[in-house]
Structure 1
């Protein structure tokens, strides 16, 4: 009887761990999708002249990116290493294998966003800041995410 209770408890604990890992992965995906909307749905179209410049929307987009920069250091716990996310991309194992590089990429992204928040006040300053934001965001993707097959 005690053995059955121990086994059942271990199974429930294991299920709880897997659920927590999946929640962490889904949370990271949601945060990255919000980044994508900020860059590709707000800042990019304004930068290209496809949408009119809107300072409130720019501020909101930059705040979203800034929030992500603050969350990134803890968004990918070791426990999700090797997990495949739903959708097109998953975290690369390089996140954990090259922790120093990942940390440096996060720092670059955070500084770029902080600088943009301080400098972007009109379309011209957005056009000056946007390439660096895109480069720091995309550069991390090139190294630290993989396309699901």
Structure 2
């Protein structure tokens, strides 16, 4: 019975992966980054009281999610994703720069998560560091909305 369940589980995972849509997967992952950053931004701006435990938890989760950013899987060459795609073709012609930016994001998030900010000012500086990765990449590799 255990062998049967293992076989069914393996088949489900493999077949699910084979039908994965890189565009949908990358959009979902990027939105998950935004969810974590959305918890932190109000504290950094002073709109919510700074909470060290919530900051550390959000940064730990953000790090776990950024580690899932695998450019080769999420951005296979030519994966346009249809009408809702905002990824620009320059991604595939400037692949080394694109992947270097992804690696820098991962490294910066890991560094900030390893030593979470202890107050609002430090959180603001940390989000500036992380956000510059996001914004810099989006300026070059993502089409404007609309």
Q: What is aligned with 2:109?
A: 113
Which structure shows the higher helix fraction? 1
1:54 aligns with 2:34: no
Contact 1:84 1:90 in 2 (8 A): no
- The structure whose Rg is larger is 1
User: What count of residue pairs does the alignment treat as equivalent?
Assistant: 127
Q: What is aligned with 1:128?
A: 125
- Long gaps (5+) in structure 1: 1-18
| Structure 2 CA distance for aligned equivalents of residues 121 and 83 of structure 1 | 37
Q: What is aligned with 2:91?
A: 95
Contact 1:26 1:85 in 2 (8 A): no
- For residue 79 of structure 1, report the CA deviation from its aligned partner: 5.0
Q: Using a 3 Å threshold, how does the CA distance of structure 1 residues 148 and 137 change in structure 2: closer, same or farther?
A: closer
For residues 21-32 of structure 1, the aligned pairs below 5 Å read: 23-32=21-30
1:37 aligns with 2:38: no
Scaled by the length of structure 1, the TM-score of the pair is: 0.72
Question: Alignment partner of 2:86: what SS?
Answer: strand
- Long gaps (5+) in structure 2: 1-17
Q: Using a 3 Å threshold, how does the CA distance of structure 1 residues 31 and 60 change in structure 2: closer, same or farther?
A: farther
Scaled by the length of structure 2, the TM-score of the pair is: 0.74
| Structure 2 CA distance for aligned equivalents of residues 130 and 121 of structure 1 | 10
